[in-house]
Amino acid sequence: MLIELAESFNQLPVEMNRVSGTHLLWRNQSINCEMSDDEFVDNYSWVVKDNSFADKSRSHPNITKTMFAERYGGFGIGTNGGGARVVNFKNSQIKGVGANALAGDGALRSHSYGGLDIQGAIKEVIYSQLLNKISPVGVQTINGLIFLDNKSALHNDSATPSVLMVRELIARPSHFLPCLNFRLKPEHRTLMRSDYSRVLGIYQGIGKQALLSEFYALIQHFLDKCADQLSFFRMARLSHNALTPSNISMDGRVLDTALCSFVVSGTNYGQVTSYFEEPSTPALIAKDWFYLINKFLFEEPVAEHFLMLYEEKFYQYAHVNMGYVFGLDREMSTKFSSTMEWKKVSSRLLSLLSMGSPTKTSTLPTVDSVDFVNDILTASLYSIMNNQDINKASKFLTEFTQDLNSLLIMMSESLGWHGQSEKSFYKTFTIQTLKRAILSSYFFITYIGRTVDDNCATGSIENTAQIINENDHISSWIYENLLSERSTLYSGNGVTFEYSSETDEYLYHGKDGSEQRFCDIASLQSIIDASVNDYIVQRYDFAPFLKRLIALLSGDAPNSFNGVKNVFC
């Protein structure tokens, strides 16, 4: 009822024209849809009437349809009044259709011209697919990308190919918030009621229809889901970088993920929002809701109750979400999270991941950055795997290693790994943990952004699906489940390295389909050296990681990770 109530005040009719000459660039194959690819393109190929697209001949003024843009508020949308380049069509949204009346007067052209550049669209899909795979709460579903034209969009203030993005229709906190900075253009002043009237109507409707209790329940559900989502972001070292009331849903899922990135430990990287500040966003949204309830309904909510509950839930979920660090799913993480061994390690990790300067930095993360959490993980796992004591004076590292070892002993016993197979579990744990910790740098915006931009600069837009699918493949083996029978050390360019916990062997699969098996991981080093280009994917070199991982598992500290060398050399 609440969502439908807000929708009736937030919808703005937009006249649309059919556009021809479009074609499919990528489609989400995980979604069951009865439409063929041609039907999909035909169904969603629409642009705003009197749009700014370059080729007017492809826009058909005699084929029209009325769709609806969404009015919404909250911080982060400048002088716009809501979705200035998005329309709702049936149960979907089409993004990049051209500017509608919600494009604010005086807004930056990049935020108000109405198009969607192919670079931003591809990045959004890549991070959406990734987060859908690893996040416990998830993301807004993106259904597909449709090519519109070659030069109507803007990227870094230059003309670039324009696309339409078809995505799921969802409810957002911003639908219940005012848009204080909206500057309606003079030519559109007769089209809509004032923003104050919009918000007043929503809250008066809540009062008249006795929906306040439902609203409180919705707020509590929102805060619970956000606590889960954002505590996961903290443990995973992820930043959304634009976490505003319009970029998160009422069920905690995120959207508009084009600026997402993993970050280097201790750095507060961000653009619109940053790593350390993002967990406070749901509380800020709730405070705005409570203010409006008090203003329009003369009810004074017990705000402290909701905010304290959110903080408690954040830390509760953070302990469960430590399972991501080691590759455990939610079910197994929840099972172990009540144990003392788990709590000790999760408390130490959470304290580490909360350390750093709160000052926002725009310095892009790079693979060669010093990451103290990775240093601690690599040194601890080297100590455990090779049965070597930490002699350097570091109380925290010594205690963390002891706690991590106790956790490994408890987990191996609980999961049924005993005797010789216990050794296999330790290897599997090390491989899966270090992949997630170190190879998440592959998904730094620094590298994904560069790869996408370079590809588009060469005019290779028809490779869009290939780029998205290749990144999806990379994420599939980096973020494998800890309990998988085989652990992938690397997979790309037709080459795969795996570790079999069942046979305690390392397997190499070549481009020709051949398979080689090794008991000694050091034997893989010569294979890597023989063809180094096989380990470069989209200009990211996986070979250094593989060589350092091999050295760690072989007890070769001088050739291992920096965290190992700093302690054992």
Give dist(CA 503, CA 485) in Å, integer: 10
> Euclidean distance between the first and final Cα of the chain, in Å?
64
Residue 522: per-residue pLDDT: 84
Residue 199 has pLDDT above 70, yes or no: yes
In this structure, are residues 374 and 266 in contact, taking their beta carbons and an 8 Å threshold? no
Question: For the purposes of burial, counting CB atoms within 10 Å of the CB of 6, is it exposed (0-12), middle (13-18) or buried (19 or more)?
Answer: buried
Q: Give the Cα separation of 142 and 95 in Å (integer).
A: 10
Strand 142-155: give its sheet, edge to edge.
Answer: 23-27, 142-155, 158-168, 92-95, 86-89, 59-70, 11-19, 46-48
Q: How confident is the model at residue 438 (pLDDT cuts 50, 70, 90)?
A: very high
User: Residue 132's beta-bridge partner residues?
Assistant: none
What pLDDT, in 10s, does the model give residues 485-511?
899 999 999 999 999 998 999 999 999
Greatest C-alpha distance within the chain: 79
Q: How confident is the model at residue 415 (pLDDT cuts 50, 70, 90)?
A: confident
Q: Calculate the average pLDDT of the chain.
A: 93
DSSP 353-375: HT-S--S-B-PPP-TTS--HHHH
pLDDT surpasses 70 at 399:
yes
Note the pLDDT tens digit of each residue in 419-435: 658 889 999 999 999 99
**Cα torsion angle, 534, 538, 543, 546, sign:** negative
Question: Using an 8 Å Cβ cutoff, are 5 and 212 in contact?
Answer: no
Rounded mean pLDDT, 345-372 = 92
Q: Is the pTM value of this prediction over 0.85? A: yes
- pLDDT, one tens digit per residue, over 264-297 is 999 999 999 999 999 999 999 999 999 999 999 9
Sign, CA dihedral 249-70-66-154, equals negative
Beta-bridge partner residues of 69: 12
β-strand partners of 507:
498, 517
Q: Is the pLDDT of residue 182 over 70?
A: yes
CA distance linking residue 174 with residue 150, whole number of Å: 33
CB neighbours of residue 549 within 10 Å:
24
Q: CA 298, 303, 307: angle at the middle one, nearest 5?
A: 155
How large a percentage of the chain has pLDDT more than 90? 77
pLDDT of 557 higher than 70: yes
Mean pLDDT of 81-95: 95
Residue pLDDT, tens place only, 147-165: 999 888 988 888 899 999 9
> Can you give the pLDDT at residue 190?
84
Confidence of residue 128 (pLDDT cuts 50, 70, 90): very high
Cβ within 8 Å of residue 504, ≥6 positions away? 420, 421, 423, 424, 427, 519
Could you tell me if residue 415 is left (phi over 0), alpha (psi between -120 and 50 degrees) or otherwise beta? alpha
CA distances from 9 to 69, 154, 470, 479 (A): 11, 31, 42, 42
